[in-house]
Amino acid sequence: MAVTSIHSIRATVGSAVRYIIDPDKTINGLYVSSYLCRTNSRGAAEDFTHIRKNGTGRTEVLAQHIIQSFKPGEITPEKALEIGEELCDRFLKGEYQYVLAVHTDHEHIHCHIIFNNINLCTNRSFETEENQGKKSERAWAKLRNISDEICREHGLSVIEEPQKSTGISHFERDMQKDGKSWKEKLRAKIAGIAYYSKNLEDFFKNCTESGIEYVYKPNNKYKLKFRMEGQERFTRAETLGEEYTVERIAEQIEQIQKLLTGVNNISEISKPETSEIPEVKPAEKKEDKWADIRGMWNADMMIAELESAGVESLNMLKSFMWNVRHDDDHTD
């Protein structure tokens, strides 16, 4: 069973590629490949930039990031690399540069694919070429269908569903089966986004990039509301809980930034008086890599969201944030 997701990269290609080709995750680069570009972060960023200079339009998107995760114990790294390359061949059709890396550092083996946002043949953006029309014609739907097709051909399990398309992603369907509501999903994603946002403005930008629409009207009675892709109506921030009002989100971002910029004593960061987050104890004989933030605001949800994106510890997050701000590639 492979679950897929796709999202845009607007910050730096170099940092994104550097993360996916990490030797510790790919067995010293053994499970890394590329198409019409170099596999190192500087080289890939430069090669992508060269093609983007010929692009039409004014899109701010630099690249796209695909994640294809497999069921634990069902696939080997070698087979995952083969399937990842097949996915690129069928989905990208030889028209986009890409770097592919298979991560083996989790129980569930997964592929990361970063590909240029500009088509090699037409010089048009990926959004224009592949992400228009009905929901069933959008990139995430086409990606899911191709991935399922390849998995069936290789004898891997897939998530079976009715023939009629509902426009609901695998993640959304799994959440529904588990009885989890839109509000629960929003809380988890908002908490994760707040964790890596530098300020409120950056938070709103990251919401948009993560597929969450927002409406912010500071002079209205209800100042802020959100809507995820596939959700019919907006959800007012107040209905998510007190911790999700615009004021509390701004406060929490400030507290998180203090922690990331050198506040090592968690007691220096005030906790909401109304917080009811239960105490989370690390597993026996296992280091808790998130110990410094346990008990802080919606720590459990933030940690879950970050780990699902491949960020495994507070130190890794700090390193990632430093790289984003001081990218030594000096490239787009």
Which pLDDT score is estimated for 294?
64
Choice among 87-96, 221-230, 268-277, 311-320 with the minimum mean pLDDT:
268-277
pLDDT tier for residue 285 given thresholds of 50, 70 and 90:
very low
Q: How far apart are CA 67 and CA 142, in angstroms?
A: 14
The pTM is what? 0.53
The pLDDT of residue 126 is above 50: yes
The pLDDT of residue 88 is above 50: yes
Share of the chain above pLDDT 70, in %: 70
The pLDDT of residue 167 is above 60: no
pLDDT tier for residue 84 given thresholds of 50, 70 and 90:
very high
Cβ 66 vs Cβ 5: under 8 Å: yes
Q: How far apart are CA 231 and CA 30, in angstroms?
A: 40
Closest CA to 308 of 182, 174, 213: 174
Instruction: Please give the domain boundaries of the chain with CATH numbers for all domains.
Output: 2-177 (3.30.930.30), 182-325 (no CATH)
7-41 pLDDT, tens digit each: 889 888 998 999 999 999 999 999 999 999 999 99
Cβ 154 vs Cβ 79: under 8 Å: yes
The pLDDT of residue 271 is above 70: no
Which pLDDT score is estimated for 56?
76
Q: How far apart are CA 196 and CA 192, in angstroms?
A: 7
